[in-house]
Structure 1
Amino acid sequence: MTASVAQQRFPRLARSASRLRGRLQRLGEQSRFYGETMRAVVDVVVHYRGELLRQIATMSLGTGALAIIGGTVVVITFLNVSTGAIVAAQGYNQFSQVGVEALTGFASAFLFTRLISLGTAVIAFAATLGAGATAQLGAMRINEEIDALEVMGIRSVAYLASTRVIAGVIVVIPLYCVSLLVGYFAARFGTTALYGQAQGVYDHYFRTFLIPTDVINSFITVIVLCVVVMLIHTYYGFNASGGPAGVGRAVGEATRTSLVAAAFVILFVTLALYGQTGNFNFAG
């Protein structure tokens, strides 16, 4: 049975098969782009160090209207202050219902470090660094600036995509330090100043359950998340089409895809890091 005959006899099955082929083809294109971007890291270090430094400055302090408020640093700080306050409020109220509100410090040290801070960080990175990269590359693609770079002999993937991936990894380390510290402080302030818990009680349980290797593992996870987010956003921006509306659509698709991918990354990386751990003993 030929393809045309099968399409006529089973139109719904043919449409499903066509959509599946299109998705597989797009997945293959994405994988090829991600591999090419990671391979081009060496070219960035050798040939495009100036562009790399410019991207680091742009991502950390922001440009345009974002630079007025302090760039990504202020955005991440605000988000983690809110998250730390929620940890204090929900942790204290939930623990107080069973008479163990003293364990609010445990929620901040253990849960915030392993999961909560990662989710907050990836939302902030996708909404600021990732969306900005998609919009910039999409505008360059629409204005044919990427084609102009290739005509001039510049490796467009290395110059535009790989530089942003490396810059994101470099910027994410101090930004995540700030986010962790701010989140810890907000949770402590909310628990001790607003709910009246003794500072000594909070600090005791916080220091008891704050495991240094958990902090290191949290940094490893957030670096992996940053690489995934920047790869996805640079792909959608690099391949944007359809004018200004297409750029906006690319930003939305990239943000949605990166957040879904980040959820799976957090799941599998945390399972790999903590799934077999035996260093947690919750006893009186």
Structure 2
Amino acid sequence: MRNLVVSVPTEQLAADIGATPDGVEVVVWPMDAAAPRERFDMVVPPYMTMTRVLARLEGVEVGLVQGQSIGYDGVADVLPDGLLFANAASVHETSTAELAVALALAAQRHIDAFAVDTAAGRWSPVFAESLADRRVLLLGYGGVGKAVAARLSGFEVQLTAVASRAREEDGMPVHGVDELPALLPQAEIVIVSLPGGESTRGIVDDAFLSALPDGALIVNVGRGTLIDTDALVDHARRGRIRAALDVTDPEPLPEGHPLWGLPGVLISPHVGGASTAMRPRIARLVRTQIERLAAGEPPINVVLGA
């Protein structure tokens, strides 16, 4: 049996993977230059620059490309033909859900304003909105949505889940997106965790925002393209809607963009998965894929090329 050859982008990830089955060679390749081998059984591209370097796989024999993100919108456009691509489901859900709840709490309890007051040495109490007793609509009930729901379970919210199709899952009634017009007028907080892509682009548009009650909060930890940015700017400027965004469209948000500095808008720079939870979880996933390949088993999480 021939050796398996796996590339990872950093020495750190190679060390985190730890011991591998006999006959497995782990090569560090940041994909900043041509491939050091003609064949890889698995390639793990760098985390944040993956779509910019996938072209380097052209002409290389690759069994599996293992991404480090849950989302994979746009990957099909740059992935060389014939390659399998797996996403990083199981790696970022917990960390992203933590940030979603943190953003909701920060916006409700004015933590962002208090941080500014702290820097200015200013004591300025406010009577704030609670998270408790709020009507929270989860738009997206995949891995991240379920993780958000689990973390909200102790906050005494009234939770409504919405996904692409209606169903009941683990005791949770899930509404279909076609029911949004009836659900939005009751939603005080909307937490969006849908994947990107053409089917979800601009789902949070002017009509969506107009259906929400005055003062409603939009939290987006999915993809920036889910929200019509111009519509959100218009509603936020009028004080109609508040927003807490980990992702934006465009991204990075350029200097001088109208979202910056808008009252009621809190922005974090796409850091949902960027926590200490990532390292052990991506190492565990890569190690699992290696063990499956070594055992002749199909990889998990394959989302393209299957």
| TM bracket (short chain) | under 0.3
Give the TM-score normalised by structure 2. Answer: 0.25
Larger Rg: 1
Name the one with the larger strand percent: 2
Q: TM-score under structure 1 normalisation? A: 0.26
